[in-house]
Amino acid sequence: MTAGARPNPLRILVLSPPPASSGPVPRITQLLAEAFRATGAEVATEDWGGTQSGGLANLRDRLRQAAGIRSSLSSRRADVLYVQTSLEPRSVATDLLLLLLLTGRRPPTVLQFHGGDAHRLGRPGARVFTACTRLLLGRVRAALVLSSEERELIASAETRVRCEVVVNPFVQASQPMMAPVPREDEPARLLFVGRLVTAKGPLVAIDALRELRSNRSCRLTIVGGGPAADEIRARSAEPELAGRVAVLGRLDHEELTELYASSDIFVFPTYWPEGFPTVLSEAMAAGLPIVTTPTRGIADLLEDGRHAVLVPPRDASAVARAIERLLADEELALAMSRANREKVGEFAPERVADRYLAIFRAVAER
């Protein structure tokens, strides 16, 4: 390339669950693709994953998707194949199958793991999973994760892949809705949002409500759907919690935004193996103080006492004390609100995209 000439645009083929799939990954993919294109990169996307079927039906769906990806690679000269996935046994198996099917046609490949079972790597009961993960990572140029804990776990499993920590993009509303200052004679409004599985902590949040000793009454709203929904409703109906817990199910974007804005504290005592939950970014954008756990990416991005009160997993008493602390210290709650609105600005797509692109360029030029 002659001096002063502009480099050729980076060509990226992104594999991601279809836009209609549940979960945040399709939206994350869209935000990243738009940010990459804004820098001059050429970006194409293909469906990979997102099917709800199991067994042979799932295998047929994946083979159909793989055929489309193979065709796309034949018609495009991609510099990088970028795959949105998770580090779970089924995903590892199908991702490995895909890479084997694409042998000879595949450009340098980067996997991004949105959470998963990195903590199982190398354990005696996970030998097959560990072996398959090593085979998968041996066929790619880089792996992206959402926490330093996952990076260390992958490294400890004797994989030699380049592993980098990145941040998922998040778009903050230009005029974020702010929660009104509650009157002291009104109940404090606690909010939990997330998939209703036990490990996300909704039952811990309910038990914490039971243990609150604050002079001010509190009400908890739980938003989401999932396999623990019936158990959550049953526990919420216990006599001592009557009228104090509302389980709303799934809400659309506008309804959820309004609910964030009308809440006082976001309570998310998760111990689910994920990177950095999107619901925390949403709560931060709304200016909510947060009670959560130092799990994976949360420990990397949120400072205890500045962005959140961090509590041990599965500890309802600690959650209750954290809520009481925020209710009793209005200055702390307001400072946390300001810090969270500032912090979430660091997740803007145009700010995080440069790190992804630097990794892609290094992979493509290797």
pLDDT tens sequence across 87-131: 999 999 999 999 999 988 789 999 999 999 999 999 999 999 999
Domain range for residue 301? 188-347
Mean pLDDT of 335-341: 96
Q: Are residues 358 and 335 in the same domain?
A: no
Q: Is 96 left (phi over 0), alpha (psi -120 to 50) or beta?
A: alpha
Q: Are residues 140 and 226 in the same domain?
A: no
What's the confidence (pLDDT) of residue 208? 96
Q: Are residues 214 and 295 in the same domain?
A: yes
What is the number of structural domains in the chain? 2
Percent above pLDDT 90 for the chain: 80
pTM as predicted = 0.90
Mean pLDDT of the chain: 91
Mean pLDDT of 319-345: 96
- Within a domain: residue 303? yes
pLDDT band at 11 (very low <50, low <70, confident <90, very high): very high
Sign (positive/negative) of CA torsion 254, 258, 260, 261?
positive
Q: Are residues 217 and 95 in the same domain?
A: no
Is residue 4 predicted with pLDDT exceeding 80?
no
Mean pLDDT of 177-194: 74
- Within a domain: residue 106? yes
- Within a domain: residue 327? yes
Q: Are residues 74 and 196 in the same domain?
A: no
Q: Are residues 357 and 338 in the same domain?
A: no
Q: Are residues 109 and 201 in the same domain?
A: no
pLDDT band at 23 (very low <50, low <70, confident <90, very high): confident
**Burial per residue of 266-275, b for 16 or more beta-carbon CB atoms within 10 angstroms, e otherwise:** bbbbbbbbbb
- Within a domain: residue 194? yes
CATH number of residue 249's parent domain: 3.40.50.2000
pLDDT band at 180 (very low <50, low <70, confident <90, very high): very low
Q: Which residue has the higher pLDDT, 172 or 238?
A: 238
Mean pLDDT of 265-289: 95
- Within a domain: residue 328? yes
What's the confidence (pLDDT) of residue 79? 95
Q: Say which DSSP state 126 is in.
A: G
Mean pLDDT of 266-280: 95
pLDDT band at 138 (very low <50, low <70, confident <90, very high): very high
pLDDT band at 80 (very low <50, low <70, confident <90, very high): very high
Mean pLDDT of 181-208: 88
pLDDT band at 320 (very low <50, low <70, confident <90, very high): very high
Q: CB within 8 A of 5, min separation 6: which ones?
A: none
- Within a domain: residue 20? yes
From the list 194, 243, 181, the residue with the least C-alpha distance to 217 is: 243
The pLDDT tens digits of the residues spanning 48-74 come to: 988 766 678 878 888 999 999 999 998
Is residue 215 predicted with pLDDT exceeding 50?
yes
pLDDT band at 1 (very low <50, low <70, confident <90, very high): very low
What's the confidence (pLDDT) of residue 160? 83
Q: CB within 8 A of 224, min separation 6: which ones?
A: 192, 193, 194, 195, 196, 200, 202, 249, 250
pLDDT band at 309 (very low <50, low <70, confident <90, very high): very high
8 A C-beta contact, residue 110 and residue 82: yes
Q: What tokens appear for 11 in the block?
A: 């060509």
Is residue 250 predicted with pLDDT exceeding 70?
yes
What's the confidence (pLDDT) of residue 104? 82
- Within a domain: residue 1? no
Neighbouring-strand partners of residue 111: 83, 143
